[in-house]
Structure 1
Amino acid sequence: MENKTALVLGASGLVGAALVEILATRDYYQQIHLLVRRPLQLASGRCIQHVIDMDELQRYNHLFEVNDVFCCLGTTIKKAKSREAFRRVDYEYPVEAGQLAAQHHVDGYYIVTAMGASSRSSIFYSRVKGEVEDKLASLQLRSLHIFRPSLLTGNREEYRFGERVAEKISPFLNPLLVGPLKNYRSIKASTVALSMALTAEKPVKGTYVHLSHQMADQVARHS
């Protein structure tokens, strides 16, 4: 087992929960610290939970003294109830975490955004995702890996009608999306999580963007 440590933000979400499970079953990290709003049921003793107030992230500066930081934070405008609240979760928290990671000179910062992320987008959701990518890139982290999944599939806590319908038809639609369109194929949250873990285990300096088909191909090669 490597004598490395990791920090995960968003451990209760679709990708975050899958990531914690994967990191806990692999031997790369000796300790995995989780920043959570409420305690989670965990099977691995390597996972250490810290119940915190994300609005006071600076108070937990010392928890960023790790090798790698994984950010799986994300919400929807419907759940957040306002654009301001959405931006706080999807922009302010990840950026503040990135700043703390940069201060502690972490080896790598790994974040999940979304397909279509662009700070020039006319769509608010995509624009915020793009803005967080741009801001993190400006922090000059040793290694920044941005994961842009398309439609995520998996067992969500909340019911989303549109995504549930898309999940039902994606097994029939995915094979038809070939060439440049293959990036629009739906992708399992567990596939994104495993791609993040595999990427962290082979650290390289610089900023990289991982698209859905690249994540799927990486995991397929690993299988």
Structure 2
Amino acid sequence: MSEPMRIALVGASGLVGRAVLQAARIRSGQTLLALVRRPPDPALAAHACVRVAEPAAWADIVAGFRPEALICALGTTWRKSGRSRAAFRAVDHDLVVDMAAAARRGGATCAVIVSAVGADAASRSLYLKTKGQMERDLARLEFPRLHFLRPGLLRGERLGDRRLKEGAAVSLSPVLDRLLPERLSRFRSIAADDVAVAALTLCHDRATGVRVHHNAEIVRAACKTEES
């Protein structure tokens, strides 16, 4: 029997990160290190090694864990960043790149990064431009296996995170999704649980190179776990 894969998870307190912790409860095959600023729900943390620390200490913790893979679900909002471009970029770009670099130093050969549909380094949108530049700079770290997940609108329960416009969109998503033609299916909503399961599955995928996964590919990867 092979040894469990060592996976570092950053962004464990957000919607997708919590879903990864939940998925790890029913999936074997990994030893999961979760980095958080505040202690999570004990039930979610039951199948992970949780380290509570400030982000400034995360890089050393990740590298010292010597992970085989990294799952990064970091992300902030315009409101949480104090409506500061620099503060927003510090999380959605700088911290993500720093965590990936730390994982690479620790020996990781795979990284699964939650990005966003429409990510583009040349976009006029601060959000999409930051995500695109993050993807570009992570590709320079030369992970043998690098996966960018670009989900559409995420469905799931956010704890203590009021996003009124996004919440309204999620409520309307059953109607909006049906209105979008198949060629625009990447912009439909998707369950955070599917993104989380796909992230864990892709850590074990041995295909090499940089790969981008939109909704259809994310669901396909999640279904692989259900079928195995």
Q: TM-score, normalised by structure 2?
A: 0.90
Matches within 5 A, 1:118-137: 118-137=120-139
Contact 1:194–1:219 (Cα < 8 Å) also in 2: yes
Gaps of 5+ in 1: none
**SS of corresponding position for 2:123:** coil
Q: Provide the secondary structure at the position in 2 that maps to 1:109.
A: strand
Rounded Cα–Cα distance in structure 1 between residues aligned with 2:115 and 2:126: 13
Contact 2:201/2:224 (8 A) holds in 1: no
Superposed, which structure 2 residues align to 1:1-223 within 5 Å?
2-29=3-30, 31-43=31-43, 45-81=46-82, 82-157=84-159, 158-220=161-223, 223=226
SS of residue in 1 equivalent to 2:79:
helix
Instruction: Evaluate the alpha carbon distance shift between residue 200 and residue 221 of structure 1 in structure 2; reply closer, same or farther with a 3 A threshold.
Output: closer
Q: Distance in 2 between matches of 1:131 and 1:165?
A: 28
**For residues 103 and 17 of structure 1, do their structure 2 counterparts lie closer, same or farther at Cα, with a shift above 3 Å needed?**
same
SS in 2 for 1:215: helix
User: Is 45-54 or 86-95 further displaced after alignment?
Assistant: 45-54
User: How big is the shift at 1:61?
Assistant: 4.9
- Secondary structure of 2:80's aligned partner: helix
CA RMSD of aligned residues (A): 1.8
Find the aligned partners of 1:215 and 1:6 in 2 and give their Cα distance: 19
Q: TM-score, normalised by structure 1?
A: 0.92
Q: How far, CA to CA, are the matches of 2:96 and 2:112 in structure 1? A: 10
- Taking only the aligned residue pairs, the percentage that are identical comes to 33
Contact 2:6 2:32 in 1 (8 A): yes
CA contact (8 A) 2:32 2:48 kept: yes
Using the TM superposition, give the Cα deviation of residue 220 of structure 1 relative to its aligned residue in structure 2, in angstroms.
4.5
2-structure distance, mates of 1:143, 1:64: 19
Alpha-carbon displacement from aligned partner over 1:58-84 (angstroms, at most 9, x marks no partner): 442543401111100001111111111
Any idea what the Cα deviations from partners look like across 1:132-170, whole Å, max 9, x if unmatched?
A: 000000110121100011111111121211111111111
Q: Would the alpha carbon gap of residues 220 and 25 (structure 1) be closer, same or farther in structure 2, given more than 3 Å must change?
A: closer
For 2:52, the aligned partner's letter is V
Letter in 2 for 1:153: R
Do 2:7 and 2:32's aligned partners in 1 also have CA atoms closer than 8 Å?
yes
Separation in structure 2 between the aligned mates of residue 201 and residue 42 of structure 1, nearest angstrom: 26
| Whole-Å separation in 2 of the counterparts to 1:10 and 1:36 | 7
Query: 1:27, 1:215 → 2: CA distance?
Result: 20
Alignment size in residue pairs: 222
C-alpha change, 1:195 and 1:71, in structure 2 (3 Å) is same
1:35 positional shift: 0.9
Q: Aligned partners of 1:90 and 1:57: how far apart in 2?
A: 15
For residues 225 and 51 of structure 2, what CA distance do their matches in structure 1 show? Answer: 32
Contact 1:150 1:187 in 2 (8 A): yes
